[in-house]
Amino acid sequence: MYLFTRNTLVNWNIFCATAGMVKADIDTEKQQRLRTRLMDTLRSKGIQDTQVLNAIAKVPRHFFVGEEQQPYAYEDKPLPIGEGQTISQPYTVAYQTELLQVQPGQKVLEIGTGSGYQSAILASLGVHLYSLERQRKLFEKNESFAYLQSLPDVHFYYADGHHGLAEEAPFDRILLTAAARIIPGNLLEQLAPMGLLVAPVGGTEGQQMVRMHKSPDGSIQEELFDLFYFVPMLPGTQ
Ligand code: SAH
């Protein structure tokens, strides 16, 4: 318990570094309580899906942000994750996940791994997850992130999401976590019949959340939801 005092926390950091652990491997009761409170906040903001709320209560968001962001990990806010990118606001993660209506065993493609938090939320719902990231540094961070690597059936790729992932298509669900001006045709092609694609669509002034449903005959129906602010989906890799 003396870990909570300032000096011993520093010692614990040194111990963790020596032992090859990261401090973010630690999930305290306080952090678990903060997650339960975050889950209640999201419920009060309109998230209803119990599975999604439970996933928010289960996945340690503080594992996905840096040292300086630790005090804010359970606030309902986006936070910087380096490379000019952000971990989405928990409400946004819950909102998109609710719209995606995943079932265990489904094949899901995520565009924009970022911190990997949304990936972990989806993985906790029992899907086969394929997640693409265009920034090498973020991709490499996730490749060496023990918590993410310990999740069953999560596969990370360093790739431009505009192309999708043809070798694993079709996908039952596709989720874009970066804003697209238009939905890339490749992604719609790689969506399975009866599949759902959820994406923020629009420019820097804000994006409308869109859900696309592919009929068995291949035609697409579109539903429109609330306005959000995402980082843009950019071309190519870097
Ligand atoms: N799901 C993430 C959100 C990260 S922000 C999370 O939970 O943290 C969006 C991410 O999309 C950024 O990491 C950005 O680099 C990535 N991105 C933007 N354009 C992309 C593209 N064309 N292909 C793949 N990833 C992209």
Distance CA 138, CA 167 (A): 23
Q: How far is CA 149 from the centre of its chain?
A: 15
Structure tokens belonging to residue 188? 């719609």
Domain boundaries 8-228, corresponding CATH code? 3.40.50.150
Q: What is the mean pLDDT of the segment spanning 28-48? A: 98
Q: What pLDDT, on a 0 to 100 scale, did the predictor assign at position 55?
A: 98
Q: What is the mean pLDDT of the segment spanning 24-51? A: 95
> Are 110 and 127 spatial neighbours (Cβ–Cβ below 8 Å)?
no
Q: Is 86 in the pocket of ligand 1 (CB under 6 A)?
A: yes
Contacts of 194 (CB under 8 A, 6+ apart): 172, 213, 214, 215, 216
* Per-residue confidence band for 7, with pLDDT thresholds at 50, 70 and 90: very low
Contacts of 220 (CB under 8 A, 6+ apart): 188, 212, 213, 214
Q: Active-site residue 88, yes or no?
A: yes
Residue with the smallest CA separation from ligand 1 atom 19 is 233
Q: What is the pLDDT of residues 92-106, one digit of tens each?
A: 999 999 999 999 999
Structure tokens belonging to residue 7? 């000096």
Distance CA 113, CA 118 (A): 7
Q: Is 62 in the pocket of ligand 1 (CB under 6 A)?
A: no
Percent pLDDT > 90 in the chain is: 87
Please, how many CA atoms are within 13 Å of residue 107, restricted to the half-sphere of its CB?
Answer: 14
* Per-residue confidence band for 50, with pLDDT thresholds at 50, 70 and 90: very high
Q: Is 47 in the pocket of ligand 1 (CB under 6 A)?
A: no
The answer, yes or no, to whether residue 22 has pLDDT greater than 80, is: no
The answer, yes or no, to whether residue 1 has pLDDT greater than 70, is: no
